[in-house]
Amino acid sequence: MKSFIGRRAISSAVSLGGLIVLVFFLTRLTGDPTNLYLPLDAPMEARDNFRVLHGLNDPLIVQFGSYVYDVLHLDFGESIRKARPALEVVLEAFPWTLTLAVVTMGLVTLFAIIIGSLAAARVGGVFDRLSGIMSLIAASTPEFWVAIVGIFIFAVSLGWLPTSGTGTIWHWVLPITVLFIRPFGLILQVVRGSMISALSSPYVKTARAKGVRQRAIIFVHALRNGMLPVITVIGDQAAGMLNGAVVIETIFGFPGVGKLMIDSILQRDFSVVLASIMVTALAIFIMNLLIDLLYAVLDPRIRY
Amino acid sequence: MLEVPRHPALTIMKLLWADKFACIAALFLVLIVVCAAIGPYFLEDAASKLNLRGRNAPPFDWSQGWLFMLGADSLGRSILARIAVAAQNTILIASCAVFASLVIGGALGLIAGYSSRRLGDTIMRLADVIMSFPSLLLAVIVLYMMEPSVLNLVLVLAITRIPVYLRTTRAEVLEIRERMFVQAAIVMGASRMRIIFGHMLPIVVPTLITIGTLDFAFVMLAESALSFLGIGIQPPDITWGLMVSQGKAYLHQAWWLSFWPGIAIILTTMSLNLLSGWLRIVLDPVQRWRLEMGGKNND
Amino acid sequence: MTNTNSQYRHILEVKELAVEFHTANGRFQAVKNVSFHLDRGETLAILGESGSGKSVSASAIMNLIDTPPGYITQGSIHYRGQDLLNMSDVHRRDINGAKIAMIFQDPLAHLNPVYPVGWQIAESLRVHGVDKDKANQRALELMKRVGLPDAQEKFDAYPHQFSGGQRQRLMIAMALGFEPDILIADEPTTALDVTVQAQILELLEELQAETGMGILLITHDLGVVAETANRVVVMNQGEIVESGLTREVFKNPQHYYTRKLIAAAPGHLGRQGGATGLREGRDALLSVENVVKYYGKFKAIKGVSFDLMPGETVAIVGESGSGKSTMAKTLLRLEEPSEGKALYKGRDLFELNPKELFELRREIQMVFQDPTQSLNPRMTVEKLVCEAWKIHPQLLPRAKWKERVAELLVQVGLSPEHAARYPHQFSGGQRQRIAIARALALSPELIVCDEATSALDVSIQAQVIKLLSDLRRDLGLSFIFIAHDLPVVRDFADRVIVMKDGEIVEVGEVEQIFNHPAHPYTRALLDASPDADPDVQAQRREKRERERRMAVV
């Protein structure tokens, strides 16, 4: 197990390293932040000071070297925009995204499993057809459009929910609902397919021959087997959300990592971009480990 | 059992007819493709002609003529015409991206699955790196750095989707190469090329096409999201995603600006999803009978 | 009958049962007008080939038919006088597992892979109201009873950690929780090695003597029927064609289908030609010297040597793990050997460069076990056969392909118009004929058959063997015939090689191996392969009894 985590950590670190290099140089190519932060008529001297302060005068490769050196000493640089340590800025935004992702994926998993299992239990039944239509529509709907329509109906027309921002529990309702839809449609389909094959497997026949009740057959015998492929998809979807639900966070003015990244790129606040990438990468790494662990718990045939 | 061989197109039409939903979906997609192909020539004028008196004209107001049945935008342009014109960019970007990623991903997958272990592993690691990229972030950086043109948009979308085809192809190839009919071919002395093109491709391609149809929907949504964020297609070019985005500012006065292009996206995506499900069955000889017998056996 | 308070005559009575399936090809009667009964303490075998409806009948008793696509359209099933078909689901569940239990073929697939075996055995008790501790305790007793070593430690192990025979013992333990009146055994030993099969059958017999349960045995294997059944019901295409006491049915079959089945039993066909005097004063066609094959550290083949004369048929027989299939694949260079030589006409197969190998591919062909998998499902028969000439274009000019395909199809007992069809449109036996036609397309001199008849029904198996021996006679082919049990090769091979754990334990002429086996393992193998003759089985059983009694003393 230890060596497995080690191997995973190394391969993740390699990918992350590649990503950091790429992002570092690509972002620097987008231009010099000086012009963005100092007024047009700022004197040359002020410009030079700004550049020196943020290390923008050195050759790119030197900048990169010193950045790597700093990161290895857990210094992720300074946010130009906010004049605060970049890591601090990111860690402020991250819990919002994490909460959003965890709550949404929790709900998605719960509903998808229950509805998908019941649909699989009677293929072609009313429930199955209903879930088929639901998942088709859910998987086909662009979330930004649902967000806008949702705002129009529930915030503008009915005035039940706030349009954007944070503060009360009501601010969470629309973002979570909108984020819920697509993963729900997708995972519902996977659960259904996986459960259909689990329910038609020989060991379910054995359980029926033993006299096990239908409910126990679905939720004890088939579900644990049927969950294995589902977990992979849940992991992929959750990883996507941890990377920041950019569109949703932008529309709802939600101070998460996704919005932070977009704003930072647009403002050429490079340290924050890189710090957010590293924080989310770490989160995704941990999540993937948990998923592998869950695999081994669910299926005794898997050993690392 | 032994059927008289018919023209393949006829067989396909018959199989499509057997699944009514897929049939409607296919018809709708044909309509969209026609719009994309000829829409701009006929409706370019209507889509760009300003009509300040008809600003934000509501939908279902027949006094303005059928072009304005879905209403008008903030500059008084017909939304219907604009949707038809925007179809071209939307479909063009998505189909180019899907085609490029399918061909590149499929080829790399074949190589990764049927060449030396080391080369295969290297290709897979590359795919992992791409997969570990937050794709939207990558798109934002690249598009912000380069001009947000159609070509660049296609490039970014294609690169992020390559791993999907690569992994599928490789997994299939690894499975097929262990199958006995491949071993039988080796025993007969078949060359690598014969095995790849004669035995593996015919099985891999249908799977890729099925995934490609599904992915078309995904890419379309991604393109819409990028355009929505303002880093995709730039005005005066339009796509459906951009139309939704532009309408957002007028949500309070004219909901229909965002609503209709969104519906266009949903209907297209839904049709693609339906068609992909149908394809999955048609292209699988083991499942195909479900459709062939569809009419007679509905219980 | 010991039961006195009953109006029923038999513990299980199936009357005029009919089951219909709604499939692609319309409605299809899987079971037609089937009636039989079972009493306590007896074993009734339902004998039939694939598609005979034997398993469907058993599933109907257990309420395991999926609706859709299957529907019971007629008939009744009574257990102790209670009508099973008109019973509420709740009531039915009380009988399933407690009064009537079932074990299946392929226990690995039929045990839930993600739960410990102890839990699964205990579950069969818990669902019928036994509390958890008692159930666990009883489960442990059952595991000990069916002869699992270290039952205590293995209680929390998972199915994949057991061997095939042990898994079937676990299934039996699971079925025995309430000492059911009836045990339905659906092909319980089909996937097992013959020696393991013998042990499982013995266990079932013991348990039957202990609990007095009635056993309904579903099988395709005449030998198993001869060994275990008191009475037999023979089914063909959904109908019962004959029934009666096992011995009478076997000795004096009435229906032509039963006669055909018994005549087709492996080892009873009689010699299929075969040449004599092949070995004198000639050079071997193939001479294998000291072949070794490692998989990592595991030594799958531990130094195997043998000769094959032109026109000769050598059978390699062994149970799973004996290395026989690896041997075949190594000869065809589908696997690379670790050491050793294989001289084919004096040239070492293992040393050939790709070009030489390509030339030789034509001369050595292979027929695989499962024709469903060895034929590409997306190619027509014509394409499948012609591929050989596409690869070796010098063999036949394109203009003659069509004609030659027709010829080959006729030669293997199909007809020329079959060329346009796809493999899935044929039956298993026909598919194997196609595979043989494909091998013949290259006009090979040596054909390696890797379990080429194992996946086929007995009667089809006999036909394919007949076809192979005709080809041998007409074309002078040499064969290496890989098989997992002995009777199959008796009718066809000239010489037999018995392998165990990667080594050859015995080599000899067919008659010698079957009549005077020298090695104990060969003898064990022969004894374990059930003979399709109830008298032979009765003798063997007596002999075993004697030995057991001797051992006790």
Nearest CA in chain C to A220: C115
Nearest CA in chain C to B3: C421
pLDDT at residue A233 greater than cutoff 60: yes
Instruction: Compute φ and ψ for C43, nearest 5 degrees.
Output: -115, 120
Residues C416 and C406: their CA atoms lie apart, in Å, by 4
Q: What is the pLDDT of residue C120?
A: 93
Mean pLDDT (chain B) is 78
Average pLDDT, chain C: 86
- Predicted local confidence at residue C5, as pLDDT: 44
- Residue C102: the pLDDT is 92
% of chain B residues with pLDDT over 90: 3
Which residues contact residue B192 at a Cβ distance below 8 angstroms, ignoring those fewer than 6 apart? B114
Please give the residue that has the higher pLDDT: either C349 or C184.
Answer: C184
Q: What is the CATH number of domain B17-48+68-292?
A: 1.10.3720.10
What angle is formed at CA C458 by the lines to CA C454 and CA C464, rounded to 5 degrees?
70
Instruction: Give dist(CA B235, CA B253) in Å, integer.
Output: 22
Contacting residues of C for B299, CB less than 8 Å apart: 22, 68
Q: How many residues does chain A have?
A: 304
Task: Mark yes or no for CB contact A149/B259 under 8 Å.
Answer: yes
If you measure CA to CA, which chain C residue comes closest to A212?
A: C127
pLDDT given at position C22? 79
pLDDT at C280: 66
Give the model confidence (pLDDT) of A172-194 as tens digits.
888 888 889 888 988 888 888 88
Residue listed under structure tokens 């979570």: A176
Mean pLDDT of chain A: 83
DSSP-based three-state secondary structure for C11: coil
Which strands, in side-by-side order, build the sheet including C298-308? C298-308, C286-295, C339-344, C347-348
Best of A144, A149, A174, A265 to disrupt the B interface (most B CBs within 10 Å) is A144
For residue C391, the chain B residues in CB contact (below 8 A) are 188-191, 194
Q: Choosing among C332, C374, C432, C480, which should be mutated to test the B contact, i.e. which has the most B CBs within 10 A?
A: C374
- pLDDT of B296 strictly over 50: no
Enumerate the residues of chain B whose CB falls inside 8 A of the CB of residue C366. 183-184, 187
Residue B297 pLDDT exceeds 50: no
Indicate the pLDDT class of residue A105, thresholds 50, 70 and 90.
very high
Give yes or no for C158 touching A (CB within 8 A).
yes
CA dihedral in degrees (A48, A49, A50, A54; nearest 10)?
Answer: 100
Residue, of C99 and B117, whose pLDDT is higher: C99
Confidence check: pLDDT of C1 > 50: no
C-alpha–C-alpha distance, residues B160 and B132, integer Å: 10
Residue C311's pLDDT is what? Answer: 85
Q: Of the candidates C24, C358, C370, which has its C-beta nearest B289's C-beta?
A: C24
Over residues B236-261, the mean pLDDT reads 80
Confidence of residue C544 (pLDDT cuts 50, 70, 90): confident
Specify the higher pLDDT residue, C194 or B49: C194
Looking up tokens 């004369």 gives: C309
Which chain B residues are Cβ-neighbours of A283 within 8 angstroms? none
Q: Where are the domains of chain B?
A: 17-48+68-292
* CB contact (8 A) between residue A203 and residue C128: no
What is the reported pTM?
Answer: 0.80
Question: C506 and C517 in contact (C-beta within 8 Å)?
Answer: yes
Q: Which residues of C touch A229 (CB under 8 A)?
A: none
Q: Determine which of A77-91, A287-301, B60-74, C431-445 has the lowest per-residue pLDDT on average.
A: B60-74
Which chain B residues touch C332 with a CB distance below 8 Å?
A: 187
Q: Is any Cβ of chain B less than 8 angstroms from the Cβ of A144?
A: yes
Verify whether the Cβ–Cβ distance C160 to A300 is below 8 Å.
yes
Residues of B in contact with A151 (CB under 8 A): 251
Q: Count the neighbouring beta carbons within 10 Å of the beta carbon of residue A261.
A: 28
C383 touches chain B (CB under 8 A): no
Q: Which residues pair with C232 in a beta bridge?
A: C45, C244
User: pLDDT value at position C4?
Assistant: 40
Which tens digit of pLDDT belongs to each residue from B164-195?
888 888 888 888 888 888 888 988 888 888 88
Amino acid at C308: L
pLDDT at position C43 is 92
Cβ separation of C422 and B285 shorter than 8 Å? yes
CA angle B30, B31, B35 (to 5 degrees): 115
| pLDDT band of C235, cuts 50, 70, 90 | very high
The nearest alpha carbon in chain A to C96 belongs to A211
- Give the chains touching A; criterion: ≥3 Cβ pairs < 8 Å: B, C
Confidence check: pLDDT of B5 > 60 = no
pLDDT of res. A110: 94
Residue of A36, A148, A151 best to disrupt the B interface, most CBs of B under 10 A:
A148
- Please report the residues numbered 163 through 202 in chain C whose beta carbons come closer than 8 angstroms to any beta carbon of chain A: 171, 174
Q: Once rounded to an integer, what is the mean pLDDT over residues C251-256?
A: 88
pLDDT of residue B283: 74
CA A46 to centroid of chain Cα atoms: 40
Domains of chain C by range and CATH? 267-363+445-517 (3.40.50.300), 373-443 (no CATH)
B282 touches C at CB < 8 Å: no
Q: What is the CA radius of gyration of chain C?
A: 26
What pLDDT does C25 receive? 64
C116 vs chain A: nearest CA distance in angstroms?
Answer: 9
| Domain boundary assignment for chain A | 2-72, 86-298
Please list the alpha-helical segments (H only) found in B178-255: 180-188, 192-194, 201-229, 240-248
Whether C450 shows a pLDDT value over 50: the answer reads: yes
Quick check: A203 and C94 CB within 8 A?
no
The pLDDT of residue B291 is above 60:
no
The set of chains that have 3 or more CB pairs under 8 A with C is: A, B
pLDDT single digits (tens) C457-470: 888 888 888 888 88
**Closest chain A CA to residue C103:** A206
- Low-confidence winner among B224-233, C132-141, C210-219, C298-307 (lowest mean pLDDT): B224-233
- A301 contacts in chain C (CB < 8 Å): 113-114, 158, 160
Residue A205: list chain C partners with CB under 8 A: 64, 104, 110
Residue C336 has pLDDT above 70, yes or no: yes
CATH classification code of A86-298 = 1.10.3720.10
Give the whole-angstrom CA distance, residue A173 versus residue C427.
59
CB contact under 8 A, C102 and A225: no
C22/B191 touch (CB, cutoff 8 Å), yes or no: no
Query: Is B5 at the interface with chain C, CB within 8 A?
Result: yes
Checking if the pLDDT of C335 tops 80, the result is yes
Of A141, A144, A284, the CB nearest to B228: A144
Q: pLDDT over 70 for what percent of chain C?
A: 95
Distance from CA of A59 to the nearest CA of B (A): 19
Separation of alpha carbons C26 and C200, rounded Å: 40
Give mean pLDDT, residues C50-54: 83
What pLDDT sits at residue B64? 66
Residue of C nearest to B289 (CA): C24
Looking at chain B, which residue has its C-alpha nearest residue A15? B129
pLDDT above 90 as % of chain C: 14
Question: Among C83-87, C245-249, C485-489, where is mean pLDDT lowest?
Answer: C485-489
Please determine, for residue B46, whether its predicted confidence score (pLDDT) is greater than 70.
no
Q: Which residue of C26, C375, C378 is in closest CB contact with B202?
A: C378
CA-closest candidate to residue C442, choices C375, C361, C381: C361
Q: Does A29 touch chain B (CB under 8 A)?
A: yes
Separation in Å, CA of B87 to nearest CA in chain A? 16
C73 CB near a chain B CB, below 8 Å? no
- In the three-class reduction of DSSP (H, G, I as helix; E, B as strand; rest coil), residue B116 is classed as coil
**pLDDT value of residue C2:** 40
How, if at all, do strands C347-348 and C298-308 pair?
unpaired
Three-state SS string across chain A, please? Answer: CHHHHHHHHHHHHHHHHHHHHHHHHHHHHCCCCHHHHCCCCCCHHHHHHHHHHCCCCCCHHHHHHHHHHHHHCCCCCEECCCCEEHHHHHHHHHHHHHHHHHHHHHHHHHHHHHHHHHHHHCCCCHHHHHHHHHHHHHHHCCHHHHHHHHHHHHHHHCCCCCCCCCCCCHHHHHHHHHHHHHHHHHHHHHHHHHHHHHHCCHHHHHHHHHCCCHHHHHHHHHHHHHHHHHHHHHHHHHHHHHCCCHHHHHHCCCCCHHHHHHHHHHCCCHHHHHHHHHHHHHHHHHHHHHHHHHHHHHCCCCCC
* Distance of alpha carbon B214 from alpha carbon B164, whole angstroms: 11
